[in-house]
Amino acid sequence: MTDAMKNFLDKLVQDEELQNRLVAAKSPEEAYDVARGAVDGLLLDDFISGMKKLHEVLTKSKDELTDADLSQVAGGLSKEEEIAYSTSTTTAAVPAAAAAI
């Protein structure tokens, strides 16, 4: 993905008006015009490619399990649980080590 497309997506995430204009576009050409007005140097091929990748990511996240989902299904810890576990074992080890001195 080109820097221009990344810049556009960054702006898109932060700018609700830009989101509304993109959604209101009646054709891919209009959507490209909206995007091109938001960032400099965005080529049509880059825009089309970037939007296809974005669409794939958005639809994939609804239809397929992520690695984190699979880990939880298989009995693994969530990221929050991993952090809590590592913090509790680290803090528990500190007093035990101090007592051993």
Q: What is the pLDDT along the chain (101 residues), one digit of tens a residue?
A: 889 988 888 898 899 999 899 889 998 899 999 999 999 999 999 999 888 888 877 777 556 666 666 666 666 655 555 555 444 443 333 333 333 33
Do 59 and 96 fall into the same domain?
Answer: no
| Residue 86: domain span | 67-100
Tell me the three state secondary structure of residue 65.
coil
Do 56 and 22 fall into the same domain?
Answer: yes
Do 51 and 14 fall into the same domain?
Answer: yes
Do 7 and 56 fall into the same domain?
Answer: yes
Tally the domains of the chain. Answer: 2
**Location of structure tokens 């993905």:** 1
- pLDDT at residue 51, as a whole number: 87
Do 17 and 52 fall into the same domain?
Answer: yes
What is the C-alpha to C-alpha distance for residues 58 and 17, in angstroms, rounded to an integer? 21
Residues 6+ apart with CB under 8 A from 15: 38
List Cβ<8 Å contacts ≥24 apart for 44-47: 46/1, 46/2, 46/4, 46/5, 47/5, 47/8
- pLDDT at residue 93, as a whole number: 36
